[in-house]
Amino acid sequence: MDLSINSTSLTPTPTNSAGDSKLRGVALGFELLTCFVGVITCCFSHYCLKTCKLIQSGMKIQLQILFTTDIVICLIALPGHAAIEYRILSGVHDNKTSSTVFTSLYTVATEIERATVMLIAIYRMMAVCFPFKYRYWSQKKVALLVNLIACSPVVLMRTIKHFIKDDSGIEAFDPNNYFIDSFMQFGFISAPTVITLIVYLVMALFMLCKKGSISPPDSCERSVRIFILTNTLFEVPDIIMHAAKATVDNAAFIIIHVIYRIHFALDPILFVGLNARYRQMVYQCCSSNIRVREAVTDTKEEDTLESKC
């Protein structure tokens, strides 16, 4: 995950070449488009989760938390964070309060999202490898408690960091400048990503070894597994970039962040698009809305004609 702008830094990074400025502008536009698509697709995902009665309650809760977090990111956190990021990289002074709010919200939300994806992967592995234990852990209260325990350290550590860290005069949002940023990137981003990949690998190996004794996954499970893998793979280039100590004035820094942020819109598309049942739900929802609008339009036209008569 791309770590946030240092929230209290008001020292702008000098503008580089015109080509860099154009690249930042294109990146900002693409990220805003990602946000727009993400809000719409996450709403459809929520609709499918609310309508479908076949999915386990524990998995439904975790997916609802994930897509709710994505909506917050795409609707509020990422647009504000991306705009501030663009302004600071372009050498424009920004308001300290707005930088702090949007940066903190974006950072916490993305770290909660990463923890939730990790939990979903663990739950999928339990469903395959330990189905009896999975029934207990997928209970509504248990699933809520597990998510609370996994996500609480994110909020706690970010709150502590906000009060103890002095960012003044630091180059804009470069996570390589502070040990505490590097530590939290490893603890809340890199580590969950590595755990997710290991869990996914264990699940795949188990299914390969037990081939024939495990019933094939339905379309819902298959779509969840694919979006878990895709979501995680989008994180890997960003982790490698930060491990290589890439600087903010590097074009790769901007491009890889844009690529990473695509998954906010791609995850719900994969979740809905790879499930025939959910695709049908979305189609029926859209069709019914179109028919209702057409009926309302026809009624208004008839009323207009009658009034003229």
Helix pair 251-261, 263-273: axis angle to 10 deg: 30
CA–CA separation, 233 and 121 (whole Å):
13
With respect to residue 297, please indicate whether it lies within any of the assigned structural domains.
no
The pTM of this model reads: 0.80
With respect to residue 186, please indicate whether it lies within any of the assigned structural domains.
yes
Range of the domain at 188: 18-284
What pLDDT is stored for residue 174 in this prediction?
A: 55
Q: Which CATH number covers residue 209?
A: 1.20.1070.10
Residue 6 has pLDDT above 70, yes or no: no
The stretch 165-188 carries a mean pLDDT of: 57
With respect to residue 47, please indicate whether it lies within any of the assigned structural domains.
yes
Give the Å distances, CA to CA, from 15 to 5, 87, 100: 16, 10, 22
Q: Which of 16-30, 70-84, 137-151 has the lowest mean pLDDT?
A: 16-30
With respect to residue 73, please indicate whether it lies within any of the assigned structural domains.
yes
With respect to residue 6, please indicate whether it lies within any of the assigned structural domains.
no
What is the percent of the chain with per-residue pLDDT over 90, rounded to a whole number? 20
Q: For residue 139, with 0-12 CB atoms within 10 Å meaning exposed, 13-18 middle and 19 or more buried, which class applies?
A: middle
Tally of domains within the chain: 1
With respect to residue 7, please indicate whether it lies within any of the assigned structural domains.
no
Pick the closest to residue 150 from 121, 119, 173, 178 (CA basis). Answer: 119
The stretch 202-207 carries a mean pLDDT of: 84
Residue 218 has pLDDT above 70, yes or no: no
Q: What is the pLDDT of residues 55-67, one digit of tens each?
A: 888 888 999 999 9
Answer whether 228's CB lies under 8 Å from 121's CB: yes
With respect to residue 230, please indicate whether it lies within any of the assigned structural domains.
yes
With respect to residue 185, please indicate whether it lies within any of the assigned structural domains.
yes
What pLDDT is stored for residue 15 in this prediction?
A: 45
Residue 296 has pLDDT above 80, yes or no: no
